[in-house]
Amino acid sequence: MLPTKIVSTVNKSARLEHERLTSLINSMADGVIAVDEHGRLAIYNGAALNILDVNTLKPGMPIGSLMKLIDKNNQPVDIVELVRDTKLATSNRDYRLSYGDGSNINLYLSIAPVHLGYGKNGQHGHVLLLRDITHEKSLEEERDEFISVVSHELRTPIAIAEGNISNAQFITDKTGDLAAVKKALQEAHNQILFLSDMINDLSTLSRAERGKLTLEVEPINVHEFVTELAANYEKDAAAKGLAIHAVIDPKLEVLYSSKLYVREILQNFITNAIKYTEKGSVEIAAKAKTDGVVFAVTDTGIGISKSDQERVYDKFFRSEDFRTRATNGTGLGLYVTMKLARLLHTDISLTSELNKGSTFTIVVPNLAQAK
C-alpha cells in the first residue's frame, strides 16, 4: 500500500493534469465529444454545446439522443452504429446535423477510437470532432456552379466561332465565294469579341471578389465624359436602328470619383440598353445633385418584369424572356456593376415596365468632398 502522502501527491498531479486537459479541450474551436464503449457521453467542450445548440449536456447521455445526422441524400444516419463501427480514425464532410426545428448545418465530423483513462482498466471509447462547415460548403457549391456555368457559356461562342472559321476554309477551297467567307469570318469575329467581353467581366469579377479593386479618385468633367460615352456607342446603336443621345444638366461641374468605374458601370447600362431594345432610343442623362451626380440610362426596350427586377443583380441571372435568350450574355454584367457601385459608396436603382423600357440610375457621390 502506498503511504498517504504519496497517494495525495498522485491525486494532486492527476487533478492538475485533468484540469490542464479540460482547459485545453475547452479552448478548442471545434466541438469535442468523447463517448465510452457503450456510446454514452463522457467528456465534451463548450464548442460542442454551441454546435449542438444546447445549453448543457449530461454525462452518461446516449450519443443517439445528442445529435441527429442526415447524409447528402437527406437520409437519417444511425450515429450509434456509425461510432460503434469506427475502428480506425475517419472523417467526413458530407453529413449534416439536423436540429429539432428542421434547420440543419453542414458538418465536418471526425471519429477516432480512443482509450479513455489510464491503465488496463481504462475504458475504450470514441472521440468525435465536430465543425460547422456550412459557409465553406456554400462557397464550394458556388465555385462549382460558377465553373460549370462559365464553361457552358464559353462553349457556345467557341463552337460557333470554330464552325464559322472551318466553314470559311471550306468555302475558300470549294467555291472561293468571298462574300460568304467574309460573312463567316464576321460571325466568328463577333463571337471572339463576345468571349473577350466575357473574360473582361470575369477578371473584373475575380478582382472585385478578392477585394483587389482599389479606388482612384480623379476629377471628371461630366459634360465631356458623357458626350464621349454617347459618341462611342453611336455606331452600335445605329446598327440596330436606334437613336442615342445625351441629356446633360448645364449646372454640372467637376465630379470627383473613379472615372474607370463610373465608365464601366455606365458602359454596362448602355450596352444592355442597346442589346435589349428593338426600336426607339437610348438616353444617357447626367444631372447635378448636392454632393454628386445622378446618371441615368433609359431605353425604350423590352423592359424587365417585376419579379426579374429583383434578380437582375444576381450572379449569372438572365431573364427567361425569349427576347433576352435570343441575345448573347453572361448574366455577370450587372452583378459586377453592383460591386463597382458599392466601391463608389453608392447603389443602383431600376425602374422598368415590360415592353415599354427601363431606366438604370446611379447617384455617384463626390468622393473628394466626402473626405
Q: Using CB under 6 A as the criterion, which residues of the chain lie in contact with ligand ADP when the complex forms?
A: 268, 272-273, 276, 299, 301-302, 304, 312, 317-319, 324, 329-335, 358
CA distances for 311 relative to 252, 329, 337, angstroms: 33, 15, 14
Taking the complex as a whole, how short is the minimal distance between the CB of residue 27 and ligand ADP, in angstroms? 46
Please identify, using beta-carbon distances, which residue of 95 and 269 lies nearer to ligand ADP: 269
Please identify, using beta-carbon distances, which residue of 242 and 334 lies nearer to ligand ADP: 334
Taking the complex as a whole, how short is the minimal distance between the CB of residue 224 and ligand ADP, in angstroms? 25
Please identify, using beta-carbon distances, which residue of 92 and 267 lies nearer to ligand ADP: 267
Taking the complex as a whole, how short is the minimal distance between the CB of residue 304 and ligand ADP, in angstroms? 5
Taking the complex as a whole, how short is the minimal distance between the CB of residue 206 and ligand ADP, in angstroms? 16
Taking the complex as a whole, how short is the minimal distance between the CB of residue 273 and ligand ADP, in angstroms? 5
Please identify, using beta-carbon distances, which residue of 48 and 332 lies nearer to ligand ADP: 332
Please identify, using beta-carbon distances, which residue of 82 and 266 lies nearer to ligand ADP: 266
Please identify, using beta-carbon distances, which residue of 77 and 205 lies nearer to ligand ADP: 205
Taking the complex as a whole, how short is the minimal distance between the CB of residue 327 and ligand ADP, in angstroms? 7
Taking the complex as a whole, how short is the minimal distance between the CB of residue 244 and ligand ADP, in angstroms? 13
Cell numbers placing 225: 465624359
Please identify, using beta-carbon distances, which residue of 25 and 270 lies nearer to ligand ADP: 270
Taking the complex as a whole, how short is the minimal distance between the CB of residue 222 and ligand ADP, in angstroms? 22
Please identify, using beta-carbon distances, which residue of 67 and 297 lies nearer to ligand ADP: 297
